[in-house]
């Protein structure tokens, strides 16, 4: 009977085995097919490619990190091949960038991005790019076209071979041809991303509309000299700030950077050292693309935004330079009075002026086209109505330096031709927006600094609040004279450092801004630079990922003192968390629990103060929020409490409530035992891909998440999402240059060079980025030619 039973079961087992084998085979086949489908899209790295329009052959060598070293015999071929090579690695990113800046995302995504497109069509970055293009000399227009021709050569080839990046297949569209305006529009978007504080003006106007004057003014960065006059006029306008700007696209709160330069007298090599780590969004692929460009009379190595020719931050064999954001007030909101009998006319100096009317057609995937009517007054586009169709008797227009014609690309392409500070400074005359803190070093030993860009001088007012647009009282009367922009050359102290901090004292005769970054990164940089007589490249690299938290050092003793006075109100979990903080060394170390408690606490304090009073849609316009909350705490500690803290029963009550909310929140995330809490369990970097929001595409495109030290107040900058802890902001590019070897630089690009998911350079630099390691990029052809990835571009044989 036993044998018969086994025999009866065997056929079923056999068929199950066959079915299992078939399923496994299907999975293997699907996996291999998917792999082949992705692998066939990887860029050609060796052999020959023929493209139209080349004057001569061009050699491209990719080093071990995927950095292209492009050798051309003239600059036209150089930029053409730069366009092709960049598109090989970053075409989808480039296309998404130009669509975002141009307000064309809905054409390929659908209704989800309509409000975003409305905003950018209203703002008019592409219109500003068009106006700028006409200001460039013919030579630079040709360079832009050369780059575009290179991008288009790759697009045509990829279409013909069915090898467009996989993201285009997923979204079901093909990229349009690239144009010079696309490159300039991306540049305008970066100017917007680095801000000009219009959102702060809108937020402060909202405060005055909603709260009593004392309470509103408590959240101003400083009391404006003309406040009574401006506030009186503001109270008469009917623009609903909350409704008008609920869907506005605002730059990241912590956009900024670090840079510093050391003179030869403080350098172990006896030549200047320069370090730079620009802070922007962290994603896959990186916002920066590293490249080495070489042609007669033009050689430079560094990074550029994918989609733009040249190198914006880098070095030559003679000089090196780096940038951080000045963040000046270069945007003003004007309250415009509309003619009740003609909605397209606005009052100025007692007369009705016609606004310029622009009809923007927004294409929507799987939907009907939307025709957006944009009104542009003498001050700029009306931006208070992009999200709704109400036509009140007043509206708000935006005046901004970058909406005017500007010529940054000319400066970028002149930088590599500069041999010294005077020549570099002259190139800066063409760099208008965004205003940047440039630090500079050269082989002749010079170190220098300059806050460069167009910064307006106002007849009246100081950009604290929206101003009347119906009078000429608040017009701009020009820009800070170029010769009077903040500049420093070879200071006695032997170093210059910037971290978006205040760059001038009260004696400077011109207004720059009310909103500077909190000073902690700058203070820490100075502290470290002064610790040693002689500094090395390794010291620079270590400082770039420094995680010492000076904000905690300032505030934590005060917080602990307040909590210890309320011992009877502390629960067991509060007591344990308090012990973590008392033992903390102020390092935002991913393995420690104290940084988690402190940073969540610093988010809970404003939640306690403002929740239920300031709408979430308006909170995103709260320019300089962290610095203002810090000042509220300082004021109370100095015996000058403001109404927001008073209404909550004083600082002690605010801190206790925030502390207990913090501990409860962390307990939900990591359990009720504070000894097991870790900053890095919450604070993680994932370098999210734009399509990863659609599950399960995150499994394909996102690198694995990893714990990360640092925070938004440390030199090793790491801004994070308050809800998820995901690190989404920081320095995707870090560089150090020793001018004793100017042909070399130490760099890291997180997560990697390529946007092609199967590329070996897609996410290979993450570990180095997390741990402060960098690779050597060299201009020495004997070294970079050793990797074997050699691609030759030749002119098409028959044109």
Which residue positions form the known binding site for Ca(2+)? 329, 332
Beta bridge partners of residue 304, listed in sequence order: 289
Residues with Cβ < 8 Å from 735, sequence gap 6 or more? Answer: 275, 276, 277, 302, 303, 313, 314, 322, 745, 746, 747, 774
Contact 424, 408 (CB under 8 A): no
298-305/447-452 β-pairing:
unpaired
**DSSP string over 353-409:** EEPEEEEEEE--TTS--EEEEEEEETTEEB-SSTT-----SEEEEEEEGGGS---HH
CA nearest to 469, candidates 398, 386, 569: 398
Q: What is the DSSP letter of 583?
A: T
47-51/394-400 β-pairing:
unpaired
Pairwise CA distance, residues 752 & 762, whole Å: 5
Pairwise CA distance, residues 397 & 346, whole Å: 11
The region that residue 683 occupies, defined by phi over 0 for left and psi between -120 and 50 for alpha, beta otherwise, is beta
Residues with Cβ < 8 Å from 409, sequence gap 6 or more? Answer: 136, 140, 143, 144, 183, 184, 187, 308, 309, 310
Contact 254, 627 (CB under 8 A): no
CA nearest to 768, candidates 699, 706, 700: 706
Largest Cα–Cα distance of the chain, in whole Å?
109
Structure tokens at 347: 């009052």
φ/ψ (deg, to 5) at 186: -60, -40
- Of 106, 205, 257, 709, the catalytic one is 257
The region that residue 203 occupies, defined by phi over 0 for left and psi between -120 and 50 for alpha, beta otherwise, is alpha
Contact 284, 755 (CB under 8 A): yes
Helix, strand, coil in percent for the chain, rounding step 5: 40, 20, 35
CA nearest to 516, candidates 749, 349, 327, 773: 327
Pairwise CA distance, residues 689 & 696, whole Å: 12
Burial label, 356 (beta-carbon count in 10 A; 0-12, 13-18, 19+): exposed
CA nearest to 136, candidates 311, 316, 309: 309
Please give the radius of gyration of the chain, using alpha carbons only, rounded to the nearest integer: 28
Contact 155, 178 (CB under 8 A): yes
Pairwise CA distance, residues 599 & 604, whole Å: 9
Residue 55: CB atoms within 10 Å = 12
Long-range pairs of 162-171 with CB within 8 A, sequence gap ≥ 24: 162/40, 163/40, 163/41, 164/41, 164/91, 165/41, 165/91, 165/92, 165/755, 165/756, 166/37, 166/38, 166/41, 166/757, 167/92, 167/690, 167/691, 168/92, 168/95, 170/691, 170/697, 171/108, 171/109, 171/691
Residues with Cβ < 8 Å from 142, sequence gap 6 or more? Answer: 76
684-685/726-730 β-pairing:
parallel
Pairwise CA distance, residues 512 & 519, whole Å: 16
Pairwise CA distance, residues 701 & 96, whole Å: 16
Q: What is the DSSP letter of 327?
A: -
Q: Is 257 designated active site?
A: yes
φ/ψ (deg, to 5) at 768: -65, -40
Residues with Cβ < 8 Å from 3, sequence gap 6 or more? Answer: none
Q: Which residues are catalytic?
A: 257
């Amino acid at each position: 009977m036993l044998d018969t039973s086994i025999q009866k079961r065997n056929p079923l087992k056999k068929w199950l085995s066959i079915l299992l084998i078939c399923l496994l085979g299907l999975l293997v086949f699907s996996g291999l097919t998917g792999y082949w489908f992705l692998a066939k899209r990887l860029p050609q790295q060796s052999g020959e490619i023929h493209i139209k329009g080349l004057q001569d052959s061009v050699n491209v060598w990719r080093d071990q990190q995927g950095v292209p070293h492009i050798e051309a015999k003239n600059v036209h071929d150089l930029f053409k091949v730069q366009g092709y090579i960049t598109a090989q690695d970053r075409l989808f990113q480039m296309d998404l960038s130009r669509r975002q800046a141009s307000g064309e995302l809905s054409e390929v995504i659908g209704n989800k991005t309509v409000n975003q497109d409305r905003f950018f069509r209203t703002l008019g970055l592409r219109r500003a790019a068009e106006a700028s293009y006409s200001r460039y000399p013919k030579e630079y227009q040709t360079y832009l076209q050369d780059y575009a021709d290179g991008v288009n050569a790759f697009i045509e080839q990829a279409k013909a071979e069915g090898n467009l990046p996989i993201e285009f297949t997923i979204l079901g569209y093909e990229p349009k041809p690239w144009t010079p305006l696309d490159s300039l529009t991306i540049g305008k978007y970066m100017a917007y991303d680095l801000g000009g504080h219009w959102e702060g003006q809108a937020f402060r106007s909202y405060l005055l509309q909603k709260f009593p004057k004392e309470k509103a003014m408590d959240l101003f960065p400083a009391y404006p000299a003309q406040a009574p006059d401006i506030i009186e006029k503001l109270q008469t306008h009917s623009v609903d700030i909350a409704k008008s700007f609920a869907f506005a696209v605002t730059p990241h709160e912590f956009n900024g950077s670090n840079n510093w330069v050391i003179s030869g007298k403080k350098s172990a090599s006896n030549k200047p050292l320069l370090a730079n780590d620009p802070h922007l969004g962290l994603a896959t692929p990186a916002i920066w693309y590293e490249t080495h460009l070489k042609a007669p009379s033009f050689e430079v190595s560094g990074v550029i935004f994918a989609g733009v020719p040249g190198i914006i931050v880098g070095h030559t064999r003679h000089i090196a330079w780096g940038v951080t954001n000045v963040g000046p007030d270069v945007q003003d909101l004007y309250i415009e009075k509309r003619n009740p009998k003609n909605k397209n006319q606005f009052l100025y100096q007692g007369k009705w002026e016609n606004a310029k009317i622009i009809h923007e057609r927004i294409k929507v995937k799987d939907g009907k086209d939307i025709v957006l009517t944009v009104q542009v007054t003498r001050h700029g586009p009306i931006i208070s109505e992009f999200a709704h169709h109400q036509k009140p008797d007043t509206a708000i227009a935006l005046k901004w330096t970058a909406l005017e014609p500007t010529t940054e690309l000319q400066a970028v392409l002149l930088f590599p031709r500069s041999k010294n500070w005077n020549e570099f400074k002259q190139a800066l005359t063409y760099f208008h927006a965004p205003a940047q803190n440039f630090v500079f070093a050269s082989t002749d030993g010079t170190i220098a600094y300059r806050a460069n860009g167009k910064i307006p001088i106002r007849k009246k007012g100081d950009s604290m609040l929206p101003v009347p647009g119906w009078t000429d009282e608040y017009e701009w009367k020009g820009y800070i004279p170029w010769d009077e922009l903040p500049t420093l050359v070879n200071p006695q102290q032997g170093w210059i450092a910037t971290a978006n901090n205040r760059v001038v004292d009260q004696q400077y005769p011109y207004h720059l801004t009310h909103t500077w970054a909190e000073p902690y990164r700058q203070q820490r940089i100075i502290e470290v630079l002064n610790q040693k007589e002689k500094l090395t490249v390794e010291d620079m690299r270590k400082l770039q990922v420094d995680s010492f938290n000076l904000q905690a050092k300032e505030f934590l003793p005060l917080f602990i003192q307040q909590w210890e006075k309320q011992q009877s109100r502390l629960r067991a979990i509060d007591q344990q968390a308090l012990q973590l903080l008392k033992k903390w060394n102020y390092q935002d170390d991913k393995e420690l629990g104290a940084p988690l408690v402190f940073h969540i606490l610093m988010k809970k304090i404003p939640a306690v103060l403002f929740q239920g009073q300031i709408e979430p849609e308006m909170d995103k316009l709260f320019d300089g929020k962290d610095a203002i909350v810090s000042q509220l705490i300082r004021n109370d500690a100095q015996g000058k409490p403001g109404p927001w803290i008073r209404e909550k029963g004083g600082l002690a009550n605010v801190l206790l409530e925030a502390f207990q909310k913090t501990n409860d929140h962390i307990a939900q995330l990591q359990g009720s035992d504070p000894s097991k809490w870790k900053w890095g369990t919450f604070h993680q970097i994932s370098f999210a891909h734009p399509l990863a929001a659609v599950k399960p595409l995150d499994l394909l495109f996102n690198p694995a998440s990893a714990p990360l030290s640092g925070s938004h107040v440390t030199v090793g900058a790491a801004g994070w999402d308050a809800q998820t802890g995901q690190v989404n902001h920081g320095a995707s590019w870090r560089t150090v240059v020793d001018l004793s070897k100017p042909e070399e630089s130490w760099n890291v690009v997180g997560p990697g060079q390529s946007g092609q998911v199967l590329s070996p350079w897609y996410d290979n630099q993450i570990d180095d980025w997390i741990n402060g390691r960098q690779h050597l990029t060299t201009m020495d052809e004997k070294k970079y030619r050793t990797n074997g990835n050699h691609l030759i571009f030749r002119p098409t044989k028959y044109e």
